[in-house]
Structures are given as C-alpha cells and as structure tokens.
Structure 1
Amino acid sequence: MNPISPPFACASLIKEIGRGAHGARALSRDSAHDLYAAMLDGRVGDVELGAILIAYRIKGETPAELAGMLGAAHAHIAAIDAPAGACRPVAIPSYNGARKQPNLTPLLAMLLAREGVPVVVHGVRTDAGRVTSAEIFAALGIDAAASAAQAAQRLADDRLAFVPIDVLSPGMTRLLQLRAPLGVRNTTHTLVKLLDPFRVSAARPDGAVRLVNYTHPPYRDSLTGLFGAYPDIAHGDVLLARGTEGEAVADTRRQVQIDWLRDGRAEILVSAARREADAAAPRLPASLEAAATADWIREVLMHTDRIPDAILRQVDDIARIARSNVSKSL
C-alpha cells in the first residue's frame, strides 16, 4: 500500500460485489472508477485487493463497471503522442503470445507501418510457456521503448513502437502479476486489451484505431455493449474480433467476424467464413520460437506473395479505417 496516500475504504463495495455469482450487485460507473483508481495507486490493502479480484472473477464485470475502470486506467497511463499526419494511429494489444500457433502480431504491425500507419504494440515482455511479441520484436532488432516520449519518437521516425505495459502503467503491471499468486486472471487482463495508449488532443481529436480481441464468445456481447453504451471511452474506432490464441492478428486458418464499433454504433466489417477446402494452407514458421518466427517474418517481408491472405486483408481493412474520417462511412 502507498504510505503517502490514505487507504481506500472498500468494505462496502466488496459487500456488493462479493455475494457470489447470483447475489452480487454491480457497482456504478463512478464507484468502479474510484475503486480501480485506488487499486492502481496502491491504496487498497492486500486482503481487500484479493477479495476484489476474486469477487470479479466470479461475478464478472458489467459494461458500466468496465467503463469506469477503463476511465481510471486511461487517467493513469503514460500517454503517447501520435505523429502528425492524415493517418490515425493504431493500437494493438499483445498479452497472450504463441502457445500452439505462431505469434504473427509483429508481422501485422510491421506491415501496417510499411503502409505509413503509425502503430503501437503494447503488451508484456515475457509470459511463461508462451512466445511474446516483445521477444519476437527483440529478435527482429526492434527494442522496447523505455518511455512514452521514446515511443512517440519511434513513431515519428519508423511508424512502429513496442511499448511494454510496465512503461505505460506500473499499476496495471502490478495487478497483472497477481495472476501467479492467485492462480487465475483478473479484471486487468481484460482492461489492458481495451487501452487506448495515445493522447487525445486538439491536434488529434478523432482518436486511435484500437484492435480489441476476445477469447470467449460471451465477451463479444459485453464488449459491444461497453463501447455502444459508453462511446466517450472509445475516442476513435474499435475493431472487435475473436483473437488468435488471444492475439489480435488475423487467424490464418479461418476468417473470423470483425465488428466495427464507433460513435456508439456497431456494424459487421467482415463476416465469418471458413477457408475453402481446396485452398492451400499458408506457409507459416516452422517453429513457435522467437528466433524462427523473426526469420520467417524477415523472409515474407522480402517476398510479399508469401504473406498469408488473412493478414493482408486485415492490413487493408485497418489501413483504410486509419486513413478515413471517423464521421464518414467507408
């Protein structure tokens, strides 16, 4: 607990959310905001913090609670200034990495940057048993940004930056790390995938394009409800799709549905479809390891005919939206 700030009294809130799956009651947006802000500040004691995380693991978060918590998270992050220009920045969360399929998130980011789209990939540095984007970027010679200012400079120079979550938000990092002692994920694992790491300003009022992915189908409804009911937290466009092992990059085995969320509205940008039975499977890295994936990425960047079609289509869709005015339909 932060010894400078006063402790946050949360017993009454725990009483609301901690009554089990059927008896628990949701907090208001404002209460959820204040509670999560206190959690980020370290003003919640260890016992109370564990109770809150497990209570939400059982109860789940409502759109109002997520909106409040995400607002608190945005107020605490080290926001990044996007470069000037007609193309809006893109934010790609990367918190899962490769477990059974290659992690091609770095390829997606590099292709977008090559199209002139400024891209920030944010995520964890390592994850036991998985190959992270941070490790693949390092194998490609792309070091993690050490600050928001350094990330902004790299966007201006190269249109690409990888920013670890511990640089963006030490508070969220601390909450993510509680997965090990608690044995389960917590609300912060959802919130980091919803972050807009860019600073909204008069020079850039239209916000970023965020790729948001989910693993379990019920999250599609809750996240669509979140951005539909609370468009003020979007500050731009959200492309929502089921993730590839939790990563936002397109699945090379099938076309998943992509929902385009903006201004409180949702429309289907791409419909789900299976790969044709006679279509050749794309050539992918022979190994999941970071070095092998990096070598494969270098190869396909030189021979673009080898890039999987699903990723090429994803790049085209994202780039079109990043170049569009949010008030106009494609």
Structure 2
Amino acid sequence: MPNDRTPYPFSRSPGVLSQVALISAVEGNSAPGAARRPALAPEVLRFRELLAKVGSGEHTSTGLTRAEAREATDLMLLGPVSDAQLGAFLIAHRIRRPSPLELAGMLDSYRAHGPVLRTPGQRPLCFGVPYDGRSRTAPLLPLLALLLAAAGQPVVLHGGAPMPVKYGISLAELFAALGIDWRQLSLADLQQRLESQGLALTHQPCHFPAAERLLPIREAIGKRPPVASLELLWTPHQGEHLLVSGFVHPPTEARAWEALAHAGETDLLTVKGLEGSTDLPTSRAGITARGRDGVITRLLVHPRDHGLCGPEVPWQNLELWREQALAALQGEGPLAESLLWNLGVYLWLAERCDSLPAGLDQARALLAARCGEKLRQDLAP
C-alpha cells in the first residue's frame, strides 16, 4: 500500500507484507552498511524501537510499558511510519498477545485522539461490540438502544464501515435500514442528539478518521489485530458510565477486566454475547460479569427461567432484518422474544428496576406502548 509520506524501499505484493519488509522494519541501524541507508524521520526510528520490543521472539520480547503502548498507538494513528512497519507491529502484537497494561496504554491513545461525547448528570450505557459486524445471527443492539433511550436510559455506541476480517453487517448499516443515518451527522450533531434523545453512534470514517489508516493494513494481514480488542474496550463517552463489552473467549474477558482496571473504568459489564457482541442469547444461559471498583462478580442469566428460551434468529439479509426489526419494536415477529429478554436484562443491570422480573415487566410495557418505534420515527429524517 503506497504511503506518500514515508520512503518505502521494500518490495510489496498486493495484500501481502513481504518478509523483506518485516525484517527491515525490525533491523537496527548498527548493522554494517548503516551509513549507506537513507535517513529516517525520528518518529520512524522510534516506532522501530517499539516494534523490536514486541517482535523479538518469545525469549527476548519484553513487551511495552503503558506509556510506550500509548506512544506506539499515537504513531500508528498520526505518525509518519510506513505501512510495512504498521503491518509488522500489528501481526507481531497479535502473535504475542497484548498485555492488559499495553491495552490500557492503547486506550489512553484512543481517548486522546478519538471523538468525545458527554452526558452531564446522566450515566449512559456504553456498548463495545466487534467492528467487523455480524454474519450468523440477527442483531438486536440497534433495537435495544432505541428502547433503552426511550425509557430514559442514555446509550452511546460506536462502530465503523464494513471491516476486515469478517465484513459482517455493521451498526451504521442496521440503523440506516431503520431510517436513522448517523453517518451524515457531525460530532456536534451527535452530542445534541445524545442530550435531547439519549442516543448516539459515532462512525469511525466520519468521527475518528485517524483510525481509518489501519484498515488497509488489517485487510493485508488477514487477522484481527489487538486494535480489534481495543474497540471492545473503548468508548467515545467521557464521564461516569456503565461500559458493556462483548467477548468470545474467557482469556479475553480476564484481560479486559485487568486492562479496564488500569484504565480507570470503575463500572463495567462483560458479556459473552452472540458472535462476540453484547446481545444476550436465548438458546443458552447468558454469561456475564459485573465489575465495580475492581471487584468482579460472575452473573448468569437464564432465559428459560422466565419462559423466553428459544433458538437464535439467523441472519439472512438486510431487507429481511428490517422487516423483523420493525415488527419487533412493536412486540411482534421472530425477534420479539429475544428483544424482550435483552431489554429486561439491561434495564435491570442499568438499575432502572429492582429485579430481573421487574425489568421484564417494564420491557413488556415499553414494547406495548411502542416507545422504541416512536423514538425511531423521531430520529429518522
């Protein structure tokens, strides 16, 4: 991938970072012939030092401090480093796995350079779900967000355009199918909607363009880099909130707890949701954990105990999902029970009611009153 800002003397094949590029990216200037090499910018040399720390192998890799992880992420977002260096860093970091402290440093960078939303006097639910979307099960989060916001519980979401490696359906596409296009709004407009209607979605290409630089590299390496984990832990909201983060594998969850503790998150919920999302399943128990001030409590929620057990609705296409989603907002159709279950659980976890049964009763009332559909109409042009 061409990079006009940095000399790129390495061989390149489409979609592939060559071995020569990887070796050159970590090679020091002390080797014979160093004086014959072209001068590199200080930022490029510094990034090469950071790359050497994560890419030196099992026995010599030292990892990064929190400050170094922040510095590396800053350089990836804004610095003049080459595509070869970016690719080498991302794949080396994936192979070694980022430490919780490194993830905290990466979060520091995203907090500094990403969009910022605030809700003075209110505590929103901030959801972190995979940017590469869904492809097997019908998503519920846009519908859940509308109903929570209609109930007076603010919600902050973030996502991007269709993204490697999965290229599943994105949050922005789902909302657009419902007539709500967050991609056309400025950050100031998003803040106004959050204040007036309790819901906002930042869209990476529009509201965090610096992070878009990494997309061609993510496509080239063909694997989810640690940035994909970071997207589950970050939120554009600054202030008091409940952070809800999806996960798939138990080690990922444990790493998230520790990273978020380092980052100062005092109230968080991890959810083993559908396809790594925060959508609670109805075909099995929902596995969650609540972290408050560093104390983690495992919480299992069983839909069958409330008469809501059933198979997940498969994803087929956007047109069919739109029909199902509009019906579900009125308490009808194949998504209705799954939406009821998720809404009841999250109302309870957000402390909008005293118990899960009370949360489900409140969810039924919201659906019967078509509150989510009314807010959808207000947000649509």
Class of the TM-score when normalised by the shorter of the 2 chains: 0.7 to 0.9
Amino acid of the residue matched to residue 109 of structure 1? Answer: A
Cα offset for 1:10? Answer: 2.2
Pick which of 180-189 and 155-164 moved more. Answer: 155-164
Cα offset for 1:161? Answer: 2.0
2:162 counterpart of 1:133: no
2:153 corresponds, among 117, 122, 131, to: 117
Q: Is the 8 A contact 1:33 1:72 kept in 2?
A: yes
2:310 counterpart of 1:271: no
Amino acid of the residue matched to residue 150 of structure 2? Answer: R
Cα offset for 1:280? Answer: 5.0
Pick which of 111-120 and 4-13 moved more. Answer: 4-13
Question: 1:293 maps to which residue?
Answer: 321
2:258 counterpart of 1:225: yes
Q: Aligned partners of 1:217, 1:2: CA distance in 2, in Å?
A: 41
2:130 counterpart of 1:92: no
**1:264–1:317 Cα change, 3 Å:** same
Cα offset for 1:96? Answer: 3.6
> Once the two structures are superposed, what CA deviation does each residue of 1:33-83 show, in whole Å capped at 9, x if it has no partner?
11111111133222222221111011010011111111011100120132x
Amino acid of the residue matched to residue 290 of structure 1? Answer: L
**1:110–1:164 Cα change, 3 Å:** same
- Sequence identity of aligned pairs in percent? 30
Q: Is the 8 A contact 2:157 2:235 kept in 1?
A: no
2:245 counterpart of 1:212: yes
Unaligned runs of 5+ in 2: 7-40, 355-381
Q: Aligned partners of 1:283, 1:60: CA distance in 2, in Å?
A: 32
Q: Aligned partners of 1:261, 1:320: CA distance in 2, in Å?
A: 14
**1:129–1:77 Cα change, 3 Å:** closer
Superposed, 1:68-83 pairs within 5 Å as: 68-82=105-119
Cα offset for 1:208? Answer: 1.8
Q: Is the 8 A contact 1:7 1:43 kept in 2?
A: yes
**1:41–1:110 Cα change, 3 Å:** same
Q: Is the 8 A contact 1:38 1:44 kept in 2?
A: yes
**1:2–1:317 Cα change, 3 Å:** farther
**1:274–1:249 Cα change, 3 Å:** closer
Q: Is the 8 A contact 2:115 2:187 kept in 1?
A: yes
What SS does structure 1 have at the residue aligned with 2:192? helix
Superposed, 1:133-152 pairs within 5 Å as: 133-145=171-183, 146-152=185-191
2:271 counterpart of 1:241: yes
Q: Is the 8 A contact 1:151 1:161 kept in 2?
A: yes
**1:143–1:178 Cα change, 3 Å:** same
Point out the structure with max Rg over C-alpha. 2
2:85 counterpart of 1:48: yes
**1:20–1:313 Cα change, 3 Å:** farther
Normalising by structure 1, we get a TM-score of 0.83
Q: Aligned partners of 1:186, 1:76: CA distance in 2, in Å?
A: 19
**1:57–1:103 Cα change, 3 Å:** same
Amino acid of the residue matched to residue 142 of structure 1? Answer: I
Q: Aligned partners of 1:36, 1:143: CA distance in 2, in Å?
A: 30
Superposed, 1:17-56 pairs within 5 Å as: 17-56=54-93
Unaligned runs of 5+ in 1: 201-206, 324-330
Amino acid of the residue matched to residue 157 of structure 2? Answer: V
> Once the two structures are superposed, what CA deviation does each residue of 1:258-305 show, in whole Å capped at 9, x if it has no partner?
11123222222x2265847x9652684x75322222222221221279
Question: 2:100 maps to which residue?
Answer: 63
Q: Aligned partners of 2:195, 2:69: CA distance in 1, in Å?
A: 36
2:225 corresponds, among 186, 208, 212, to: 186
What SS does structure 2 have at the residue aligned with 1:254? coil
Q: Is the 8 A contact 1:165 1:173 kept in 2?
A: yes
Cα offset for 1:26? Answer: 1.4
**1:177–1:320 Cα change, 3 Å:** farther
Amino acid of the residue matched to residue 295 of structure 1? Answer: E
What SS does structure 1 have at the residue aligned with 2:253? helix
Question: 2:17 maps to which residue?
Answer: none
Question: 1:312 maps to which residue?
Answer: 343
Q: Is the 8 A contact 2:100 2:259 kept in 1?
A: yes
Root mean square deviation, CA, Å: 2.9
Pick which of 7-16 and 298-307 moved more. Answer: 298-307
Q: Is the 8 A contact 2:282 2:312 kept in 1?
A: no
Q: Is the 8 A contact 2:127 2:156 kept in 1?
A: yes
Q: Is the 8 A contact 2:283 2:312 kept in 1?
A: no
Q: Is the 8 A contact 2:282 2:311 kept in 1?
A: yes
Normalising by structure 2, we get a TM-score of 0.73
Q: Aligned partners of 1:293, 1:72: CA distance in 2, in Å?
A: 36
Question: 1:303 maps to which residue?
Answer: 331
The number of aligned residues is: 310
Cα offset for 1:137? Answer: 0.6
Cα offset for 1:125? Answer: 2.4
